[in-house]
Amino acid sequence: MRTLRLGTRRSQLAVTQSTLVAEMLRAQGHIVELVEIVSDGDRTQATNTPLTSSSSTGVFVSALRDALHAKEIDLAVHSLKDLPTYPEEGIDLTAILPREDPRDVVVARDGLTLGELPVGSRVGTGSPRRVSQIKALGLGLELDGIRGNIDTRIGKVRSGDFDAIVIARAGLARIDRLDEVTEVLDPIQVLPAPGQGALAVECRAGDADADVRKILTSLDDPTTRAVIEAERAVLATLEGGCAAPIGTLADVVEGEEGPELWVRAVALSLDGSLSVRLSASGPVDDAAGVGRRLAEEMLAEGAADLTDAPVDAAEADPEAADRDQAVMDTGGSPQTAPEQDKVHNA
């Protein structure tokens, strides 16, 4: 029987996520070997070097894809929000696993929430998306960049370097550290990054690896794939028209005629003072179309004019480095999107 070589980064979270996929495959009777790969993102994170716009998108992904191209591994596991929205030639996104809770959380001193922190408290996040949305809450907090793995970030709260950090709940859940959480942020306040909480499994495209793709297809969750396709379509469309931070969240909900897709998205200036926030609903089997049309409506409503946000905006979550760009709320009355989508203020 063929041994499947699964590429993983060396961090605790990456190994945990890769081990989860390996165990799913082993349960089907396959032999799986973990192969550790070091990325440029890991190297810069270890030296606390800031990520820039030219290197941030996919910085934790490229080394694993290089290993796939070189046939050093047969499959790779990524935090899906790390993946660029454009396809990689010769690589197939074969499986998207059931999603963890995608919300952001707070880890703060003394068990505090964001609203309970005193004005001027230092909050750590490497994400312009979070910075914009938290500034829009008007809490008077000082938001500073932070990098490092989960232990490093939590350690900076315990040492007093930061009063709190904001981080993805999914990573803490996967390494069994949810007891550190002092607040789960409602998406009404802070929308997550596109794809946050989901895992992607990639392998090589082409006939030679058809057997691997067939094996991995059994891991794919159709509902999660639909919501992720919608979120990534929002991101891809907005990236083409603006440089603002972006947050979005899609869900499959029960509509009048059965399941339907509901997508919320926000784009903001970095200081949170300017924003476009809209939502849309549409067919689950047209997820990318729903997301694209929502983003086009946001651009028409002024998202393209939110130009004060810098583009050196790596999300830099504990184990992530996608550009997490965002946009927010201009108000106004409910509107109707092209075709079947119903777009309105979220």
Q: Spot the catalytic one: 82, 92, 209, 322.
A: 82
Residue holding tokens 């370097």? 161
CA quadruple 217, 219, 222, 223: dihedral, nearest 10: -160
221 labelled catalytic? no
Q: Count the Cβ atoms, other than its own, within 10 Å of residue 181.
A: 16
Task: Give the separation between CA 26 and CA 5, rounded to whole angstroms.
Answer: 12
Contact 331, 275 (CB under 8 A): no
Task: Give the separation between CA 288 and CA 174, rounded to whole angstroms.
Answer: 28
The Cα-based distances of 85 to 73, 231, 245 in angstroms read 23, 10, 15
Give the residue from 266, 323, 283, 281 showing the smallest Cα distance to 59.
323
Q: Beta strand pairing status for 122-124 and 142-144?
A: parallel
Q: Which residues are catalytic?
A: 82
